[in-house]
Amino acid sequence: MNPSKLFFITGVSSGFGRALAEEALKAGHRVAGTVRNQQAKQEFDALVPGRSTGWILDVTDFDAIAPLADIVERETGPVDVLVNNAGYGHEGIMEESPLSEVLHQFNVNVFGAVAVIKAFLPAFRARRAGHILNVTSMGGFITMPGISYYCGSKFALQGISETLTKELKPFNIAVTAIQPGSFRTDWAGRSMVRSPRSISDYDPLFGPIRETREKRSGHQPGSPQKAARAILRLIDSPAPPASLLLGSDAVMYVREKLQQMSADIDAWEEISRSTDG
């Protein structure tokens, strides 16, 4: 068994966060996980008493994050692996979706993650060690109609992650963006926020997409448990990548976009280069 590590994972009540916490505990690691209420905390504490510790936190309560990081480092121990998993999906045609929804989407998926990183980073840098995992999405590189707010938030977190990879390498701190495809989590089910339909012009495009996404919820190809095991293999790598795709659909869609990008660059290269000088 590899040496035991301490994981700090946001959002361990369900989905990827819960699966990763359970697999890490099975592998002999310790997990400090954030939950939203006292009942969830008690349930998480009881998973493996002494090695699973729940902490109540809303990642949009930015002022509470740094004090909690200090308490975890002091009472539970130095964190080895920080996992920004907390997040949700917003679905809706952009023209139909209120501005308040994009603000909340970014508060949770981007600014909450940044606040957590900033809270733990001084300790990581002082120890010259640590691994930060940010759960982005294949939607942090590809796009689909009806999830512009979600993709925008994941593009932002992806860019932040890739930049951090370069900034923190001199301190022996690894940063990896985890880019899942479609997995059997609550993302497209009870966890998704859906804006009401209001503009009939979009019906032919978006009606079938929303219906299909709702029907597929719970039947996606990806297994959260297998994703968690893949992430544990990543943690053990001496040279982890800046990004890791999870799921055959993620690999397919990202390769398709790369091919299209390459074709567009070739087709427009003369105009692109004409702006120099």
Active site amino acids: 150
Record the tokens describing residue 6, joined without a space.
């301490």
| Residues β-bridged to residue 91 | 194
Cα–Cα distance measured from residue 89 to residue 104, given in angstroms and rounded to the nearest whole number: 11
Contact status, residue 120 vs residue 82, Cβ threshold 8 Å: yes
- Residue 18, CA distances (Å) to 178, 185, 231, 255 in order: 15, 10, 13, 29
Record the tokens describing residue 249, joined without a space.
């659909």
Contact status, residue 178 vs residue 162, Cβ threshold 8 Å: no
Cα–Cα distance measured from residue 108 to residue 111, given in angstroms and rounded to the nearest whole number: 6
Residue 273: partners with Cβ closer than 8 Å, 6 or more residues away: none
Q: Is 123 exposed, middle or buried (0-12, 13-18, 19+ CB in 10 A)?
A: middle
